[in-house]
Amino acid sequence: MQTDNNPIRKYVFVCGLQRSGTSVLARNIGRLRNCTAFRNTGVLQDEGQYLQDVYATDHACGGTGRFGFNPRAHLTETSDLLTPENLVRLKASWERYWDPAKSIRIEKTPKNLLMTRFLQAAFPNSYFVVIKRHPVAVSMANQRWKVSMASLRMGFEHWLHCYGLYEEDKKHIGRLYELRYEDYINDPSRYHREIAEFIGAEVFEDEMEELAGAHNKKYFDRWRKLVTDSPFRQYYRYLARKYESSLELHGYSLTKIPGTDHQLIPEGEGASALVGELYCRVADMHAFGWRLATRTAGLTRRTLRRMLPASVKKKLKLRYGQKEEQRVKRSLA
């Protein structure tokens, strides 16, 4: 169902799991001529999901590394949410943050990966730019968010589940451009030009945000140590063997160093299926405990904060600000 009869406007939806490069990619697309992206909205990463109330956010569906398992996260053109009233409300909630003088509107939300068919039905002239990143980097990066931490096993399962749903959905998408994060950081100019041509825009290369591959290398170095030197390397080798064939279908490997044929794991090594699954259960329980403790601590802090007098809150805020400033200075030294 489409409610916007303006053929001039284009809607570009950037899709990909958290920590896949969607934010920097969306910002750079927003720098193309006649493009407008969300900025200074006051919500996390300027994501459109937090500016509307028509569909459930990824947080409401379980959070980072788990939202894709919730049936509410996967929306298509058959969704009951596609009512005229909802579409008017959804568009209005985003329109206020786009520059009305520009006709190519950019929206970035990781859960767009599971909403391509829904968004295509909701917005005429829609274009989809889908980015994919190695599941090792995505899963390890997501583990830094303790409030939504998932085990590596869960991270790999979620990655495969979400991109598996997308692979089926993309058969129904009319305008689609795909890229890999690893290729993007190696040659951003090429992809900026191709995306600009895809959506009918123009590149100002000197305005593009710079990219670096240091973070990717950090995650791969850590993964290599886990499967070779960790006391629990049998567990990580079990994960590598378990998911290798599935990830190969997406062009990724857990048993080889990226970009090489060097095998990280000797042939045949790894925990048995029984022991490996036991390792997985323990890792999942540890991640759950970590997540629960973090959320409980956060709830306690928020409750105490509401109970404190304004004068005390002001002093604590000042003290925290001073400590944070000192921490930043030390990190830059």
Domain count, the chain: 3
Of 136, 152, 153, the closest CA to residue 215 belongs to 136
180 has which bridge partners? 132
pLDDT at 262: 75
Taking residues 84-104, report their average pLDDT. 95
Residues 29 and 177 in one domain: yes
Top mean pLDDT of 68-77, 205-214, 228-237, 324-333 is at 68-77
DSSP state of 123: S
Residue after which a domain boundary falls, among 211, 227, 244: 211
Residues 173 and 314 in one domain: no
Distance CA 187, CA 198 (A): 17
Taking residues 118-132, report their average pLDDT. 96
DSSP state of 272: -
Residues sharing a CB contact under 8 Å with residue 216, sequence separation 6 or more, in sequence order: 134, 137, 181, 182, 185, 258
Domain carrying residue 116: 10-211
Structural tokens at position 258: 């990226």
DSSP state of 7: S
Taking residues 184-195, report their average pLDDT. 94
Residue after which a domain boundary falls, among 211, 239, 262: 211
Write the pLDDT tens digit of every residue in 14-27.
Answer: 999 999 999 999 99
Residues 199 and 257 in one domain: no
What is the rounded end-to-end Cα distance, in angstroms, of the chain? 56
Write the pLDDT tens digit of every residue in 248-257.
Answer: 999 999 998 7
pLDDT at 54: 97
| Least confident span in 73-77, 217-221, 296-300 | 296-300
Residues 125 and 100 in one domain: yes
Residues sharing a CB contact under 8 Å with residue 19, sequence separation 6 or more, in sequence order: 133, 137, 138, 141, 142
| Cβ atoms of 91 and 4 closer than 8 Å | yes
